[in-house]
Structure 1
Amino acid sequence: MKHKILIINILLLISLSAFAKPKVLVFSKTMGFHHASIAVGVTAIMKLGKENNFDVDTTTDSKKFTYDNLKQYAAVIFLSTTGDVLNDAQQAEFEKYIRAGGGFVGVHAATDTEYDWAWYGNLVGAYFKSHPAQQMATLHIIDHNFVATKNLPDEWKRFDEWYNYKWIAPNLHVLITIDEKSYTGGANGDNHPMSWYHEYDGGRAFYTELGHTDESYSDPLYLGHLLGGIKYAMGVK
């Protein structure tokens, strides 16, 4: 009888875990410039979670970066983080999380983060150099088969703050490029990526440069783009 009860309890736990919602962590610590849009970005991602059946925790506390804490999350989102946000021990814990199959999403200033941590640079895919004044520009969607870009127009005209990069990792799967002829101040030439994804060191990483402005987080096209990147990082098929 005891064995039957034990088996029933195990099956119940398995069935409950099968229906447990995945969870993401939004990390928005800044040690440099603080983007005002972080607040609306956090709210927007929480709303995306409610609408798409995943839970969202938020923090600016780098002490949350232990493997035992991070392993509960399907993905960690660096939402316009800036500067040196994790110490050496926390960096090692985050590397362990990614190597165990974790997901990463970098939004906008995530490339203006951790310049002295080469592993992170390769994870996020580039390092920020500069940006001109905010302005309209034309984006080219070069891969419509990916979840974050499948619903975007071939040419996407939008207003934002456009980054130039001082370094871009090789072997990224680029999703979006920006047409430097459509605005002033571009410095990466004809191949100027704005969004990409790749598998890295056991995990999955997605980055979008878009998202400086408050208005981004009420734009259905941008929100669909961001949601697709989150789904990829979470491992949602």
Structure 2
Amino acid sequence: MINLKTSLSSLLLVCIIMLGLSLETFAQSNPQFRVLVFSRTKGFRHQSIPDGVVALKKLARDQIFDIYTTEDESYITDKNLERFDVIVMMSTTGTIFNDEQKAVIQRFVQAGKGIVGIHSATDTEYQWPWYTKLIGAQFLNHPHQQTLKLNVVDKSHPATYHLPEKWVWSDEIYAFKNFNPDVKVLITADERTYDPKDGMGEFHPMSWTNEYDGGRIFYTAMGHTDWAFMDADFLKHIYGGIWWAAKGFPID
């Protein structure tokens, strides 16, 4: 006679395993490209990370690309990364990678592939100069969350095609240090429209691209809040960055 309690427990375990698998991957039959979303944190952990991961999975479904998500830094090997076109650093923080993993990421970029950084991707790997040049800056500080005016200064990129020149947005507004002057800035913050505390002055970048060491990099400082990932304009902003980082099409 089958023990009902044991059977129910086994069924629950199978359901949990299947749910876990469904949350780790989203595969298309004929994807445009393949994206790894990496969301490991060893510093502050943003509560928006799960919302961001789910939002990117929905983008993968709607925009026809494959996605795999992990927080396991041991996954960063040449063999595992060879099937991906883009790594999305989803609000990562702290010192994450060992020397071998750093070398793997450098080879990934040098092979002409893409990196997308969201929000605290600039609060990551402060002691790795290559990464700072790649991502474009290091997090310095932020005031309390506020509404501000963002200036879309370059609308020739797929991350900004759809945006107005003046974009009202609410978020945790990062200021930066060790800014790479070689990046191409897409969006700036107007510090006259909020209390910046210790801001950056007239030139306060918020989103940019960078072609560095053979690869393509897109970064946006937005994305602190859960609800940011429910905003259609913000999701188009991210997807435009992912698409460009993956495909590298010329932009007019």
Q: What TM-score comes out, normalization by structure 1 length?
A: 0.91
Aligned pairs for 1:54-203 (under 5 A) are: 54-185=65-196, 186-203=198-215
Counterpart-to-counterpart distance in 2, 1:20 and 1:158: 32
The alpha carbon displacement at 1:20 in A equals: 4.9
Counterpart-to-counterpart distance in 2, 1:27 and 1:38: 10
The alpha carbon displacement at 1:236 in A equals: 5.5
User: Which of 240, 243, 247 is the matching residue for 1:228?
Assistant: 240
Whether the 8 Å CA contact 2:33–2:66 is kept in 1: the answer is yes
Task: Name the % identity.
Answer: 46
Counterpart-to-counterpart distance in 2, 1:48 and 1:236: 19
2:150 partner amino acid: L
Counterpart-to-counterpart distance in 2, 1:171 and 1:20: 32
Counterpart-to-counterpart distance in 2, 1:32 and 1:230: 25
Q: What TM-score comes out, normalization by structure 2 length?
A: 0.85
SS of aligned partner of 2:144: coil
Can you list the C-alpha shifts for 1:182-231, whole angstroms capped at 9, x where unaligned?
A: 00025111110000002110110000001001111010110110000010
2:212 partner amino acid: Y
Q: Which runs of 5+ in 2 are unaligned?
A: 1-29
User: For this pair of structures, how many residues does the alignment match?
Assistant: 220
1:106 partner amino acid: G
CA RMSD of aligned residues (A): 1.2
User: Which of 13, 19, 29 is the matching residue for 2:40?
Assistant: 29
Whether the 8 Å CA contact 1:22–1:74 is kept in 2: the answer is yes
Is 2:204 the counterpart of 1:204?
no
The alpha carbon displacement at 1:235 in A equals: 1.2
SS of aligned partner of 1:168: coil
Q: Which runs of 5+ in 1 are unaligned?
A: 1-18
